[in-house]
Amino acid sequence: MISSRASQQHQMGSAHADYPGLKENEVSTGTTIMAIPMADGVVVGADSRVSTGSYVANRVSDKISQLSKHIFCCRSGSAADTQALTDYVKFYLQNLSVETGREPTVKTAAHLMRKMCYGNKERLLAGVIIAGWDAADGFSCYQIPLGATCLKVPFALSGSGSGYIYGLVDSEYRPDMTCDEGRVLVKKAISHAMARDGSSGGIIRTVVIKPTGNDRDYTAGNALPFGPTGY
């Protein structure tokens, strides 16, 4: 008689021996993304590792997608699913901007994304953060985790590496931080997550969003503020 553990492994297949919690044909995915609205801007950041199980498919992926002039989306989950979702939302926001003659709001972008995620939640693996600036609400960010709940939050963290850094961000976040201080915190937090989470790694990309323009930046893997050499 086959034991329950052996039967479970047999059903999942030998390809998932290192990941016993996965279903057949399912792969392990992971990332670390975050966004922090400030008084003078919004800082979004992400690592760059795309993994399929224990294999790193892309070590310098850009997980920060621009949806409109002042609205960005940080993507976690399935790269294919989230890229398709951001393409759809970007298209709808462009049409809305042409029809109304004004830039879309962050809230509109977030609820469009939420509607698409919820309507396809059985077929998609997507957890995203929508952040940016608009004339109605100023600087804001919305978190849409797996399951497609849409929450407006003071700051947002998501992905497999986020569980390692909630305490760090809670202790160092201040509502009156400047964008320079926020960028330092984002890089510090993501580098800590990358040091602990095997599915997060590569480089750190950040974007500071302001009404006057957006400033992109990246930190190379050998210049991270925290890493194994700092133990």
Tokens 């700092």 sit at which residue? Answer: 230
- List beta partners, residue 221: none
118 burial (CB, 10 Å; 0-12 / 13-18 / 19+) is middle
Q: How many helices (H) and strands (E) does the chain have?
A: 5, 12
**Residue among 161, 180, 184 nearest 172 (CA):** 184
Q: Among this protein's residues, is 31 annotated catalytic?
A: yes
b/e 46-79 (16+ beta carbons within 10 angstroms → b):
bbbbbbebeeeeeeebebbbbbbbbbbbbbbbbb
How many whole angstroms separate alpha carbon 165 and alpha carbon 141?
18
Q: Please tell me whether residue 83 adopts helix, strand or coil conformation.
A: helix
Asked whether 145 and 113 are in contact (CB, 8 A), the reply is: no
Contact 184, 178 (CB under 8 A): no
Q: Of 29, 31, 82, 105, which one is the catalytic site residue?
A: 31
Residue 130: which of 138, 119, 140 has the closest Cα? 140
Instruction: Give the catalytic positions in this structure.
Output: 31
